[in-house]
Every structure is written in C-alpha cells, then in structure tokens.
Structure 1
C-alpha cells in the first residue's frame, strides 16, 4: 500500500520533498498556508496550521505527518498525537526547535557545549548579564525568529527596551557574545526505530543574518572537530527523541571549540548541497526517516560541493528568463528555484556546484548565481 505523507507548510522545503517522494513511491500531500505557494504542486489543502480542526481534517487523509517549518502550536501537535496520528518529529522533540529557552535548558541537561545564557525578564536582569559578560550580549526572542529575525546584539539593556515591552513579562533569551571564527552546521537523520546517519559537517556563510553559502565538507577541519560535531548531533538527536532531519547550527571559536547555536528539526538550508553532492539528499533522507524506511548513505559524491543561495532575484523579469544564459555559461551548475517572486533579501532559489578543486567550485557556484542578480 502506498504510504501517504502529509507536510504542513507549503514553502520551498515542502516543494523540494516532492521529487524524492515521487521517486520513493510515496504519496505526498501538502497543507499550504495560502494559494500559489512554493509547494503548490502537491498542495491538497489550504488553511491555517494553527487551527486544530483544519489540521485534523488534513491529517485524516495521511499516514504520517511532517513539517516544512516548526511553527505548528504544541496544543495542535499534542491533539494530533492523542488522535493516533503519526507525527514526525513529535511535539516532545519539536518543542526544542520552537522555544530557544526550552532548548537551552535541555542542552544544559544533555551536557552539550553552548554559549553562556540566561532567561531575562526585565532590563535589570539583562543589564546584569551584560555587565557579567564583557559589556555585550546577544538577545533573542525565544519563539518565532529565523534568518536573523528576533536576534539583536546589545550593549545596554535599553537596546532591548521595545522587546521587553512587547514581551509583557515573558522572558527573553540573553546569550554571551561568542568569539567565533566561523559558523558550521551538522546534520543528522534519525528514524523512529533509532537508526541514525550523519552528514559531513559544513561551513555556512551568513550575510545580514541569512545563510548565503554552504561549503561541504567544511574546509580546514580537524578530525577531532569532525568527530565532536557528530557526537554533539547524535547526543541531541537521541536526547530529544527527534525523528527526521536535525540540523545543529554551531559556532567554531578562536580556540577551536564548537558551541551549539540553534536547532532545526526539518531539512535545512545548510543541507541543500546534499541534493547534488551527497549519495542521499536531505529531502529524500527526511522522507525515509519519517516513514521509518532504512536510511541512505550520506557521504559526498565529490570532494567538494558549494551551495550559493539566490537572494532577492532579478530586478526585472523572472528567474526563468535567466535559465538559458546560466545553463549555457555554467553547464556544471545545478539550479533549484522555489517558485517565488523576486524580492530584496528573499530566498528564491539556490545553485549547487560539485567538483575536485575547492577554489574552482566556489568560483563557479558564485559566478552562476550572479546571473540571477
């Protein structure tokens, strides 16, 4: 019998699950937030993922439920589990990707290395944290932030006065300013039966809080760092009981420590390289994991793969208008677009290039992406 996979969220991550679902013989269905979203090819319903009746109606026609994002409320998720719906990742795991304060507390319990942090309820508590950490801190809204949103570097508590007012007594997250030299990401897949497969640790390049590039595997890493990153991801995956893809965003410090920044329990921008650069891409792997199929191998097909995001898109025309030009100039480039209209700063697609020489691969991926500027 064909397994029916339901995806809540109609963005580009759901879109990129469609092709591997077809290849695996899965029936993929999407609950999209609005008409005309990226995953409209598989959208069988449109509605509010925060409304229990809407999600219940969607879930009745699928065998397993997974996600394009982490924003479905806990009360909705737990009601689905109580109904007997197979939800992957489940609410017990997903809470750690939904609330950064809950995540930080759990990572402390697991003994995972992370920045010093505190829950701060008012300006006085934040100012004490700043004073105790060299005159600066990173303040985050515990819920809802992504791509640089909900994150602010502060030097005094007054820099977050508007956030405290909006929080109405709820705590904000304060973290130490980490002296990091670069950002890394470690992905791991885990299926309900417990099997896990780790991908190579990658280096990510952020611009204005948004991932701009990923290099796989991360260049210049020691075997000790590679092992430590995988051990951290395995400890988290087991410790929170995640099912599906888990991305662990990491800081590498100037003394070669690695600290956990944030978690994502779904396919992740840092793993887009794997579509063309790994034996099993992250979207296929996520589907294998949530349907409890044996996981695929995750090693690279080439020594290097570079992913460059297409941010914003062309000022005039569409991305499709540029396809012939980039394909002619860069036949080695793999183009992935999201069906989104160009808009400044918006992720509208990405380019993957794989090869044997890192400098060449970086140059070719960046050059191909400029055709969509």
Structure 2
C-alpha cells in the first residue's frame, strides 16, 4: 500500500519533497494556509495549522505528519500524538526548534558547545550581561524568529525595550557576540529506530540574515573540525530525539572552536546543495527518515558544490522567462525555482553547480543567479 506523508506548510520545502516522494512511491499531501507553491504539484488542503480540528482532519488521511516549518503549536502536536498519529519530528523534539531558550538549556544538558547565554527579564539583567561581555551582545526573541528576524546586536539594554514589552514578563535570550571566522552547517538524518547519517559539513554565507551561498563540503576545513561537526550533529540529533532532517548551524570561531548557533528540524537552506551534489538529497532523506525507511548515503558526488540562493529582484520580474535565459547561458547549472512571484529579497529559487573546484562552481552559480536580479 502506498505510504502517505502529510506535510504541514505549503512552502518551497514541501514542494521540493514531491519529486523524491514520487521516486520512492510515496504520496505527499500538504496542509497549506493558502493555495500556493505545493498546490501546483500535490494534493493540498487549505487551512490553519494552528487550529486543532483542521489539523486533526488532515492527519486522518496520512500515515505520518511532518513539516516544512516549526510553527505548529505544541498543544496541537501533542493532541495528534495522543490521537495515535505518527508525528516526526515529535513535539518533545520540536520544542527545541520552537523556543530558543528551551533549546539553549537542552544543549547545555547534552553537553553541546555553545556561546555564553542567559534568559533575561529586565533591562538591568540585560545590561549586566552586556557589561560582562565586552560591551556588546546578541539578543533574540525566544520564538518566531527566522532569516535574521528576531535577532539584534546591541550595546545598550534599552535597545531591547520593545521586546521586553512584547514578551510581557517572559525572558528574552541574550548571547555573547561570538568572534567567528565563518559559519558552518552540519546536517544529520535520524530515523525513529535510531539510525543516523551525517552529511558533509558545509560553509554558509549570510546576507542580511538570509542564507545567500553554501559551499559543500566546507573548503579548507581540517579533518579534526569535520569530525567534530559530525559528532556535534549526531550528539544533538540523538540527545534531542530528532526524527527526520536536523540542521545544526555552527560558528567556527577565531580560536578554532565550533559553537552551536541555531537548530532546524526539517530540510534546510544549507542542504539545498544535496539535490545535485549528494547521493541522497535532504528531501528524499527526510521522507526516508520520517517513514522509518533505511537511510540513503549522504556522500558528496563531486569534490565541490556551490548553492546560490536566488533572492528575488524587482516586482514583476518574469521568473519563467529569466529561468529559460539562464539555462541557455549556463547549461551546467541546475536552476530550481519555487513558483513564487518575484519581489526584492524574497527566496524564489536557488542554483546548484557541481565541479572539482569550488571557485569554479561558485563563479558559474553566481553568474546564473544574476539573470534573476
């Protein structure tokens, strides 16, 4: 009997699960807030993921529920589990991707390396942390932040007054401002039976808080750091009970440490390179993992893959027209578009280029992406 995977969230991550699902003989069903990208390609229900009755009705017709975002409320997730629905990742794990303060405490419990941090509820507590950490710090909203939203670098506690007001008596997160050489990401797949497969660690480059470029495997990274990143990733996946894909965003510090920055429990932007550069893409692997199927090889297919995000140009740009021109100009580039209308800064697609040289891959990928500016 064909397995049915229900994906809550109708964005590009759900869309990119559809092709590997067909190859695996799996049916994808999507719960989206509105008709959109996934509705073009998969059976889609439209409804509010925060409404228990809506989610329950959706879950009745699938074998397992998974996600393309981490925003489904805990009470909804726990009600599904109580109903006997297979939910991967489950609420006990997903809470650590939903609340950064809960995440930081759990990472401390499992011994993962991370920046100095604290939960603070007053301006005085925040200022004391800033003063103890060379006069600058990073503040984050515990919930709801992504792609650079909900994150500020501050020198004065008063710069976070609006967040203290918005969270009304709840603590906000403050972290030391890490001096880092670059950012890395370690992905790990874990299935309910416990099998884990780490991917090659990659280098990520951020632009205005959004992932803009990924280099896989991370160039000029020593064997010790590669092994450490994989160990951190598997330690977290196992310690938090993650099922599906886990992305661990890391800082490589100027004194050669690796520190955990953020977590995502789903396919992740840092893994888009795997569609064309790895034996098993992150999207196929996520489906395998949540269905508790044997995991595929995560080995890289070539020495180097570069992923460039296509961050939408001016309003009204014809993406399909630019896509055709870019393909003709750069036949060696794999261009993936998301069915979105273009607007400045919006993720509308990405480009993957594989090569035996990372500089060559980056040159071609950047050139192809410029056709969408």
TM band (smaller chain): over 0.9
Describe the SS at the equivalent of 2:320. Answer: helix
Alpha-carbon deviations, 1:290-334, whole Å to 9, x = none? 001100001111100000000023554311011221111100000
Checking the alignment, whether the CA contact within 8 Å between 2:81 and 2:87 is kept in structure 1 is yes
Indicate the SS of the match to 1:86: coil
Contact map agreement 2:213 2:308 (CA 8 A) in 1 = yes
Query: Aligned partners of 2:99, 2:360: CA distance in 1, in Å?
Result: 40
3-state DSSP of counterpart to 1:129:
helix
> Residue in 2 aligned with 1:321?
321
| Corresponding residue for residue 222 of structure 2 | 222
Give the C-alpha shift of residue 39 in structure 1: 4.8
Q: 2:346 and 2:252 mapped to 1: Cα distance?
A: 27
Which of 307-316 and 222-231 deviates more?
Answer: 307-316
CA distance in structure 1 between the aligned counterparts of 2:145 and 2:237, rounded to whole angstroms: 22
Aligned pairs for 1:202-217 (under 5 A) are: 202-217=202-217
Alignment of 1:261-272 (within 5 A): 261-272=261-272
Q: Do the aligned partners of residues 300 and 48 (structure 1) sit closer, same or farther apart at CA in structure 2, a change above 3 Å counting?
A: same
Look up the match of 2:56.
56
> CA RMSD, aligned part only?
0.9
- 1:235-314 to 2 correspondence within 5 Å? 235-314=235-314
Greater Cα shift, 312-321 or 246-255? 312-321
Q: Deviations over 1:215-234 (max 9, x none)?
A: 00000100000000000011
Q: Secondary structure at the match of 1:87?
A: coil
- TM-score scaled by length of structure 2: 0.99
Is 1:333–1:368's contact at 8 Å kept on the other side of the alignment? yes
Name the counterpart of 1:348: 348
CA-to-partner distance for each residue in 1:32-53, whole Å, 9 max, x for gaps?
1112244542142100000000
Q: Distance in 2 between matches of 1:99 and 1:234?
A: 20
Matched with 2:131 is: 131
Matched, 1:108 2:108: yes
> Could you tell me how far apart the structure 1 residues matched to 2:367 and 2:42 are?
32
Report matched runs for 1:143-162 at 5 Å.
Answer: 143-162=143-162
**Equivalent pairs, count:** 373
CA contact (8 A) 1:186 1:200 kept: yes
Q: Deviations over 1:154-205 (max 9, x none)?
A: 1000111111111111110000000001000000000011111110000000
Q: Secondary structure at the residue paired with 1:5?
A: strand
Q: Provide the secondary structure at the position in 2 that maps to 1:327.
A: helix
For 2:36 and 2:265, locate their aligned partners in 1 and report how far apart those are by CA, in whole Å: 25
Cα distance in 2 between the residues matched to 1:172 and 1:252: 25
Looking at structure 1, the residues matched to 207 and 44 of structure 2 have their Cα atoms a distance apart, in angstroms, of: 35
Q: Helix, strand or coil: the match of 2:79?
A: helix
**2-structure distance, mates of 1:38, 1:256:** 42
Residues 32 and 43 in structure 1, CA contact (< 8 A), matched pair in contact too: no
Where structure 1 has 5 or more consecutive residues not aligned to the other structure, the ranges are none
Query: Is the CA contact (8 Å cut-off) linking 2:6 and 2:66 kept in structure 1?
Result: yes
> Which residue does 2:122 correspond to in 1?
122
2:92 matched residue in structure 1: 92
User: Matches of 1:317 and 1:148 in 2, distance apart?
Assistant: 25
Any gaps of 5 or more consecutive residues in structure 2? none
Matched-pair contact (CA < 8 Å) for 1:313–1:348: no
- TM-score relative to the length of structure 1: 0.99
Cα–Cα, structure 1 residues 358 and 225, in superposed 2: closer, same or farther, change >3 Å? same
Partners of 2:146 and 2:44 in 1: CA distance: 27
8 Å contact from structure 2 (residues 316, 343) kept in 1: no
